[in-house]
């Protein structure tokens, strides 16, 4: 059972006691990502800002309580731009954030909008040098004639300062909108994917990249699918997977060819002809794909389901989980209000035994792969008081029998949606982005999910 980890956190600051604040639409969270240790959590928003939260040390007075996440640093990652050649505005919205494994005292992360990827260094400074020979205390250059003796500069303590500095800018390599970035397990390269191409970058080289996938047809009228997501294998630096709007997954091996247009494996579930409808292709489009931590499985999310695939079985998914099957009768209205094109993300827990993904009405779903139990929980201000226990929610299909506290599918709020989620790499702590609020929940005393 999950309890509220800390008070509601917004992208601007922590909001105490479950109280909220209204922000402009630029503060809508567009990505959430834990670093490799789980001590830092980064969010990006539609206004091009990145907010980093840091986990506080455990309380001495409450040995069983976990440290809360508080704002560590906030910075402007991207600004709105204009492409004069194509007369197009490039919005500042952060599409993805990916942390690099920590190599020294500083942290590094990649952030991207539709066109430009940036590498940022996040470091701390708690000492400042004093006692310069040629500068005064305010930093002004002294008259050399007044210097009568030499002194050794010393480092003196100062208030902790978190500095965020841009180290690299990777630009001008994508014609279409970037939807994914993924750091390779060699920690030297990463890839970026747009609708039709995937590029491989070296972290130290900004002026060129290598095109490793190109599905653009010679005639754009022949275009039948686009790339929706891509990710590197967590252990094998030569393997990566990308998903398509047709619901297929392609596993590629960079050892086979420089251009990986020919995949090594194709994962595709045969379509049931009897279930074919106008919406079939739209709802089968894969919105997210994630390798398991072990590297053995793939987790994908389409509009109605989450699927787990075994890398050794291409013909069908190993497991299929219905996220909100009660919406099948609502597909027509969801198409009219464009909700059917929403792109939900998915996440594994640290042991690959539980998967999580979002839904509407600020609901999010968890599925235990071992027990086959599932739960629907709600991220809301009413249930977000510190240490409050989240109550399972249940949606009743139209015309079905309703129990007490059940929610009718007709009363779901489709403007409230959980698109972005993240799971702590080692612990049962989850981050849920709901519009412009960030909710952090933890598993109470590591009890079983129910």
d(CA 450, CA 448): 6
- The maximal CA–CA distance of the chain, rounded, in angstroms, is 93
- With CA atoms as reference, report the closest residue to 93 among 13, 28, 4, 19: 28
Quick: pLDDT tens for 135-181. 776 767 777 777 777 778 777 777 778 899 999 999 989 999 999 99
pLDDT at residue number 16: 31
pLDDT, average across residues 185-198: 96
pLDDT at residue number 24: 47
pLDDT at residue number 150: 79
pLDDT, average across residues 291-313: 97
Assign 22 a pLDDT band (cuts: 50, 70, 90). Answer: very low
pLDDT at residue number 3: 54
Question: Residue 445 pLDDT more than 60?
Answer: no
Q: Determine whether 413 is exposed, middle or buried from the number of CB atoms within 10 Å of its CB (0-12, 13-18, 19+).
A: exposed
Assign 322 a pLDDT band (cuts: 50, 70, 90). Answer: very high
Q: How far is CA 265 from CA 146, 252, 272, 286, 310, in A?
A: 75, 7, 22, 17, 11
Query: Do 65 and 51 contact (CB within 8 A), yes or no?
Result: no
Question: Residue 335 pLDDT more than 90?
Answer: yes
Assign 83 a pLDDT band (cuts: 50, 70, 90). Answer: confident
pLDDT, average across residues 212-221: 93
Question: Residue 11 pLDDT more than 50?
Answer: no
% the chain with pLDDT above 70 = 89
d(CA 362, CA 345): 14
d(CA 383, CA 106): 36
Assign 400 a pLDDT band (cuts: 50, 70, 90). Answer: low
Question: Residue 23 pLDDT more than 60?
Answer: no
d(CA 25, CA 22): 9
Query: Do 239 and 260 contact (CB within 8 A), yes or no?
Result: no
pLDDT, average across residues 112-130: 89
pTM as predicted:
0.86
């Amino acid at each position: 059972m999950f309890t509220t980890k800390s008070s509601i956190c917004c992208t601007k600051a922590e909001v105490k006691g479950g109280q909220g604040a209204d922000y402009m639409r630029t503060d809508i969270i567009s990505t959430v990502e834990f670093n490799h240790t789980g001590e830092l959590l980064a969010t990006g928003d539609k206004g091009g800002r990145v907010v980093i939260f840091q986990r506080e040390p455990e309380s001495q007075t409450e040995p069983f309580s976990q440290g809360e996440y508080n704002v560590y640093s906030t910075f402007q990652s991207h600004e709105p731009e204009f492409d004069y050649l194509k007369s197009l505005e490039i919005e500042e919205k952060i599409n993805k954030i990916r942390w690099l494994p920590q190599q020294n005292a500083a942290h590094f992360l990649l952030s991207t909008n539709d066109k430009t990827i940036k590498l940022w260094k996040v470091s701390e400074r708690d000492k400042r040098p004093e006692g310069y020979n040629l500068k005064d205390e305010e930093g002004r250059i002294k008259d050399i004639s007044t210097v009568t003796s030499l002194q050794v500069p010393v480092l003196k303590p100062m208030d902790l300062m978190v500095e965020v500095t841009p180290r690299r800018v990777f630009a001008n390599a994508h014609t279409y909108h970037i939807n994914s970035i993924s750091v390779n397990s060699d920690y030297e390269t990463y890839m970026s994917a747009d609708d039709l191409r995937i590029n491989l970058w070296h972290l130290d080289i900004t002026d060129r990249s290598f095109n490793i996938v190109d599905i653009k047809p010679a005639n754009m009228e022949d275009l039948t699918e686009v790339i929706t997501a891509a990710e590197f294998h967590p252990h094998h630096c030569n393997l990566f997977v990308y998903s398509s709007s047709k619901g297929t997954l392609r596993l590629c091996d960079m050892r086979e060819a420089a251009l990986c247009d020919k995949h090594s494996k194709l994962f595709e579930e045969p379509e049931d002809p009897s279930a074919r409808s106008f919406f079939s292709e739209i709802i089968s489009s894969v919105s997210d794909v994630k390798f398991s931590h072990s590297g053995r499985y793939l987790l994908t999310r389409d509009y109605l389901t989450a699927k787990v695939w075994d890398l050794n079985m291409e013909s069908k998914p190993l497991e299929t989980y219905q996220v909100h099957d009660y919406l099948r009768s609502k597909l027509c209205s969801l198409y009219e209000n464009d909700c059917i094109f929403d792109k939900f993300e998915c996440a594994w827990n640290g042991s690959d035994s539980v998967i999580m993904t979002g839904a509407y009405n600020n609901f999010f779903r968890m599925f235990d792969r071992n027990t086959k139990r599932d739960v629907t929980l709600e991220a809301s201000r009413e249930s977000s008081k510190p240490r409050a226990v989240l109550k399972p929610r249940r949606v009743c299909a139209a015309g079905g029998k309703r129990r007490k506290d059940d929610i009718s599918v007709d009363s779901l709020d489709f403007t409230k949606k959980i698109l972005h989620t993240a799971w702590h790499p080692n612990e049962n702590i989850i981050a849920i982005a709901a519009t412009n609020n960030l909710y952090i929940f933890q598993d109470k005393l590591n009890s079983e999910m129910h």
